[in-house]
Amino acid sequence: MHTTRLGTAPEGISRAVEVLRDGGIVAFPTDTVYGIGAHGMFPQAVERLYTVKERPRDKAIPLLLPGLDALPEVAADVPEVARVLAARFWPGALTMVLRRSSRVPDAVTAGGDTVAVRVPDHPLTQALLRALAAPLAATSANRSGQPAPDTAAGVLAQLEGRIDLILDGGRCPGGVPSTVVDLTVAPPAILRAGGIDPAALRRAIDL
């Protein structure tokens, strides 16, 4: 399979949406590194992500959303603390863990009862999510155990022939991963330190 590489003009976004709705895999820049994504509601497409990345099947895949309004599609309930955090830190480097909706495929959650969600702070990713009008199951665009690339060329070096399309948005800023907060427990628990100052997070939700 040949991997097509396109720029980020509107036709690139349109083509990426077509690929995703056909069950394909697309690479795209984010606010940290390049990611690869599949339509989050298509189990077979999500399964391809595991194969492409050589990712362990018991390791869940986060969902990227266009905004807070999309949360009820993927979460069984949206607690007030989630709305507070979203208003303060989305779009941005915050991943929230919530109880999954029954609509979310098992492939996304590795069979678990929670789902990790984030709204990325990158205009191209946001445009793609809005055009897709669905959650994007996404992970970094590298084979497991290898460095996560910050350029389209870096994606091709690892995944040429494994994915269908790359949206080339230039070099990503890189940096630290998102902060992950589990909102299914009380009080909320920080599972991974990342791009958000823990003190700011604690102030927002009185941790």
The tokens describing 166, both together, are 């790359």
Amino acid 175: pLDDT: 76
pLDDT (tens digit, 9 = 90+) per residue, 24-66?
Answer: 999 999 988 899 999 999 999 999 999 999 999 999 999 999 9
Judged against a pLDDT cut of 70, whether residue 7 lies above it is answered with no
The band of 202, judged by pLDDT with boundaries at 50, 70 and 90, is confident
Question: Contact, 73 vs 158, CB < 8 A?
Answer: no
Amino acid 167: pLDDT: 93
Q: Where are the beta strands (DSSP E) in 1-100?
A: 4-6, 26-29, 34-39, 63-64, 94-99
Alpha-carbon Rg for the chain in angstroms: 16
Can you spell out the DSSP letters for 99-125? EBPTTS-HHHHTT-SEEEEE--S-HHH
Amino acid 1: pLDDT: 58
Question: Contact, 62 vs 117, CB < 8 A?
Answer: yes
For the chain, what are the domain ranges? 4-205
Amino acid 53: pLDDT: 94
Tokens 């495929």 map to which residue?
Answer: 105
Judged against a pLDDT cut of 80, whether residue 148 lies above it is answered with yes
Mean pLDDT of all residues belonging to the chain: 92
Strands 63-64 and 179-182: unpaired
Report how far residue 145's alpha carbon sits from residue 16's, in angstroms, rounded to the nearest whole number: 26
In percent, the amount of the chain with pLDDT more than 90 equals 78
Report how far residue 186's alpha carbon sits from residue 120's, in angstroms, rounded to the nearest whole number: 26
The band of 206, judged by pLDDT with boundaries at 50, 70 and 90, is confident
- Residues 4-205: name the CATH superfamily: DHBP synthase (3.90.870.10)
Burial of 113 per CB tally in 10 Å (0-12, 13-18, 19+): exposed
Judged against a pLDDT cut of 70, whether residue 121 lies above it is answered with yes
What's the one-letter identity of residue 58? Answer: D
pLDDT (tens digit, 9 = 90+) per residue, 80-115?
Answer: 999 999 999 999 999 999 999 999 999 999 999 999
